[in-house]
Amino acid sequence: MNRVACRLRVKAEAFARYGLQIGKRVRQDLIHRVHNGDVKYARKLSHSRTVIVLDHHGAELAFIYSSARREIISFLAADAWETAEWRNEKRAR
């Protein structure tokens, strides 16, 4: 999948799951926050892919970040299996 098609899919996922309009500036802001360590949860899925959860305007936003491509490759649903361990820990507290 080329980058343009991937970004269009990511935009559609963000809007469908969070009602969030994702443009270049918002993507850059989210990635900048990741690089600054402003995350609630992060877990490696593979060598280059990491699940990230961060606060965005009072809501938790979960996505998969690719360090190889240096971009967000997918937004996750609130009940995604990738964040299940973190959600269970949060409930136990």
Higher-scoring residue by pLDDT: 88, 14: 14
Cα separation, 32 vs 1, whole angstroms: 24
| Percent of the chain scoring above 90 in pLDDT | 34
Asked if pLDDT for residue 50 goes beyond 90, the answer is yes
Residue 25, both tokens: 């500036």
Residue 1 has pLDDT above 80, yes or no: no
Confidence at 63, pLDDT banded by 50, 70, 90: very high
Domain ranges of the chain: 3-92
Q: Mind listing the pLDDT tens digit for each residue in 17-35?
A: 888 888 889 888 998 998 8
The reported pLDDT for the residue numbered 80 is 86
